[in-house]
Amino acid sequence: MKDNTSRSTATTALQDPIFPEGIEGCIGNTPLFKIKSLSDATGCEILAKAEFLNGAGNSPKDRVALSIINMAEADGLLTPYSGDTIYEGTVGSTGISLAAICRARGYLAHICMPDDQAKEKSDLLEKLGAEVERVRPAPIVDQNQFVNRARNRAAEHTADPNRRGRGIFADQFETQANWQAHFNGTGPEIYTQTGGRLDAFVTGAGTGGTISGVARFLKPRLPKLKVVLSDPQGSGLFNKVKYGVMFDPKEREGTRRRQQVDTIVEGIGINRVTSNFEAGRELIDDAVRVSDEQAMAMARWLVEKDGIFVGSSSAVNCVAAVKVALQMGPGHRIVTILCDSGMRHLSKFWARVGPIGGKDDVTLDDVLNAATKQNGLVEKPNQEWGV
């Protein structure tokens, strides 16, 4: 073969590349891509922010975990390799992100999580070297609730003279480092990637940091933008946004099966208002309820139509994005979040989804009408969304 390296004197010399600094350098700047099947079916551009491609814990919680650790370091609260330990109460994703970044920075992680979450999450945490404490689900007023347990464990660590280092409570539900991570990262990225043209932003809320941070960045720049909360069954945020009352029909006596939020969806949905949700609540224009059956039908659809394999909260977001697209009409651009891979939901959510393939005649109407009776007392999808 000819050596063409010197065929032109105009050839520009290669520059030394700039590499990301550690695993933390692989967080953020995630792709925004078009979900072809949903866009074709609705006549809108439905774009997905691929947050499952963040490089540490593979979810949007990478941004939050890094922000929390950076803030603690700036305040002089953490010293690498000293035994300093970050404690957090989480249903999984924030803990996974914290565990990975703690390892990279020279800290330890102690994660308290409800024992009804998918086992893959606690297994992964242990493989990342975190100490995992699985606790029985309990209301937030109970000191044994997973968030309160983590807070107490951090205080016990710091107070114990026989333990190395100190305990730091991450406090993802209340710390401003949460929504600020999305104000400084996710929001600007979406604005740039869409060229400043989008009509709606749709996402769920667990801590509320994503929806608040993104809304606070985008709304001043795009005053006509519609910010919509996607909420699973059993969560009270839907009614909080729509009617100003934190209530869900499944809270009625004798109807709730689970201690916290009565849904198989993990990562979003809550029955209290956090500081992070409150930070952007006035900027949320509307809310969409999504049943477990709709989420499972959408998860199956995304695999069969697009080869996209995501977790339960991402499926909820996509159902809500479709409902918003149908309400707004063709020609609009909607952005939503794909939070994490379905790999950490195999034993719970995906075990309920059922077999994939063999149903080529499934329509988007079938997805949206999946067990609509589960949607509670206030939303009737067939009428409200015109499908």
Note every long-range contact of 248-254, with CB atoms under 8 Å and residues 24 or more positions apart, other chains counting. 248/376, 249/376, 249/377, 249/378, 250/376
Helix, strand, coil abundance in the chain, percent, nearest 5:
45, 15, 45
CA 178 to chain centre: 12
Q: Where are the beta strands (DSSP E) in 13-145?
A: 32-34, 45-50, 85-89, 108-114, 131-135
Structure-token pair, residue 93: 């994703």
Q: From CA 345, how far away is CA 332, in angstroms rounded?
A: 32
Alpha carbon distances (Å) from 36 to 40, 42, 92, 205: 6, 10, 30, 25
Q: From CA 174, how far away is CA 293, in angstroms rounded?
A: 31
Q: Strand 226-232 relative to strand 286-290: parallel, antiparallel, unpaired?
A: parallel
231, 205 contact by CB (below 8 A) = yes
* Pick from 302, 296, 279, 270: nearest CA to 349: 296
Residues known to be catalytic: 61
Q: From CA 232, how far away is CA 269, in angstroms rounded?
A: 6
Q: From CA 294, how far away is CA 301, in angstroms rounded?
A: 10
274, 174 contact by CB (below 8 A) = yes
H/E stretch holding 289 reads strand 286-290
